[in-house]
């Protein structure tokens, strides 16, 4: 949720530079979420298959955010 909230908040920015900062926070949140998933897997609350699938999706989202940042520069 923090990723989408930061993107939504940043979309109301007055400049691309400011929006890029919010996108950077959203991008960093993908790493935070990955860490949470790894912890959940370590505690046997999600399976390895689910972990790998969600990490792949987070990786794709992170790349999309990065590419979007590049279009705003």
Residue 69 tokens read as 């940042």
pLDDT of residue 25: 97
Work out the average pLDDT over 42-65.
98
Please report, for residues 7, 28, 59, the alpha-carbon distance to residue 39 in angstroms, rounded to integers and kept in the order given. 25, 17, 17
pLDDT of residue 36: 97
Residue 61 tokens read as 């989202």
Helices of type H across the chain? 2-10, 16-42, 48-72
Domain borders along the chain are: 2-72
pTM for the whole thing?
Answer: 0.88
- 49 pLDDT higher than 90: yes
Q: What CATH number does domain 2-72 carry, 1.10.3720.10, 3.40.50.2020, 1.20.1440.60, 3.30.2130.30?
A: 1.20.1440.60
Structure confidence at residue 66 as a pLDDT band (50, 70, 90): very high
């Amino acid at each position: 949720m923090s990723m989408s909230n930061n993107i939504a908040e940043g979309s109301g920015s007055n400049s691309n530079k400011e929006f890029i900062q919010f996108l950077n926070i959203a991008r960093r949140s993908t790493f935070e979420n990955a860490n949470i998933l790894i912890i959940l897997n370590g505690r046997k609350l999600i399976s390895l298959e689910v972990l790998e699938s969600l990490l792949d999706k987070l990786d794709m989202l992170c790349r999309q955010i990065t590419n979007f940042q590049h279009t705003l520069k």
